[in-house]
Amino acid sequence: MVASVGHSCAKSVDLLSQFMNYKVHGICPDDWSLAQKLILQGCEPLPRRRCLAKSIPKVGLLHPFPVSLWKNVSDKILSWSGLGCKNLACLNGKKLNRDCVNCFALASGQENQRYIKARGKNDFLIDDVLALGSGGIRIGFDLGGGSGSFAARMAEKNVTIVTESLNIDAPYSEFIAARGLFPLYLSLDHRFPFYDNVFDLIRAGSGLDVGGRPEKLEFLMFDIDRILRVGGLFWLDNFYCTSDEKKRALTRVIERFGYKKLKWVVGERANGSGKSEILLSAVLQKPARV
């Protein structure tokens, strides 16, 4: 049997050789996109290197907390190498993914209304979800958190959120950090670097789909269950179901864990082309197990 740990790195040996080709004690190559390509191919965590990461001066360009949560971020403090867009205005003109449409426009648009104003029955409000936690929500984990707006709204409620992100087509991690929030640069193929039963809440959107592969979803759900404490909440937020069968398959996986359904809403929403999409939103509570 092939060892699972490190096997994906062996399959990407050419890219790994490029990544490890650098001047010791010098400045690291500007190769974050190469590193991310390795991560997306399952080669993580990456090996450490003995070089100095390229830095961007940010003195005087960062806002104090909590003003930073909703203050527009300067283009000058973000790294644009390897990206098609070279400023935030360009990004805000694109639909980067289902969870990030104009998500870098903090002062205007719908981003600053998310989680506090519902657009439809599938949009749960933060206050309503926190009430389901009986006052015991203190720390959480956001999977595929876009530009960090969920973490920002939770910070206003004195709840600390770690936001999982990769810089796919945009500088998500730097942007989240510039807002005074905690980005975790990690793919969903990697085992979460947290101890068991530590989080009060975990939120996930359509990124939970992990490429539409049922076996990957099952492994991911087991890891989510591992780090969520008993009585903790799993918030499935507007998960896009490509078909009714996809919804049933996801439902079967979730029900296998025996979570209590505190909220469960299946709805439809018209996409950009006018076609209806099936969306599933739910708040589930982890049970105690003997």
| Segment 123-137, tens digit of pLDDT | 999 999 999 987 689
CA distances from 189 to 4, 6, 89, 153 (A): 12, 13, 31, 27
Is a pLDDT exceeding 70 seen at residue 161?
Answer: yes
Share of the chain above pLDDT 70, in %: 95
Q: Mean pLDDT throughout 210-223?
A: 84
Count CB atoms within 10 A of the CB of residue 136.
12
Q: Mean pLDDT throughout 205-226?
A: 85
* 104 φ, ψ (degrees, to nearest 5): -95, -5
Mean pLDDT in the chain? 89
Distance CA 167, CA 36 (A): 8
Q: Mean pLDDT throughout 243-250?
A: 82
Distance CA 34, CA 41 (A): 11
Q: Mean pLDDT throughout 157-177?
A: 95
The answer for 52, left when phi > 0, alpha when psi is -120 to 50, beta otherwise, is beta
Three-class SS state of 17: helix
User: Please, is 23 exposed, middle or buried when counting C-beta atoms within 10 Å of its C-beta (0-12, 13-18, 19+)?
Assistant: exposed
Residue 1 confidence (pLDDT): 34
DSSP 197-253: T-EEEEEE-GGGGGGG-HHHHHHHHHHHHHHEEEEEEEEEEEEEESSHHHHHHHHHH
Residue 5 confidence (pLDDT): 47
Name which of 103-112, 113-122, 255-264, 268-277 the model is least confident about.
268-277
Q: 28 pLDDT band (50/70/90 cuts)?
A: very high
User: Please, is 199 exposed, middle or buried when counting C-beta atoms within 10 Å of its C-beta (0-12, 13-18, 19+)?
Assistant: buried
Residue bearing tokens 């003997």: 290
Q: Is 233 in contact with 129 (CB distance < 8 Å)?
A: yes
Q: Which residues contact 38 (CB under 8 A, 6 or more apart)?
A: 9, 12, 15, 16, 19, 44, 46
Tokens of 4: 């699972």
Residue 168 confidence (pLDDT): 92
Is a pLDDT exceeding 90 seen at residue 260?
Answer: yes
Q: 3 pLDDT band (50/70/90 cuts)?
A: very low
Note the pTM of the prediction, 2 decimals: 0.91
**Amino acid sitting at position 252:** R
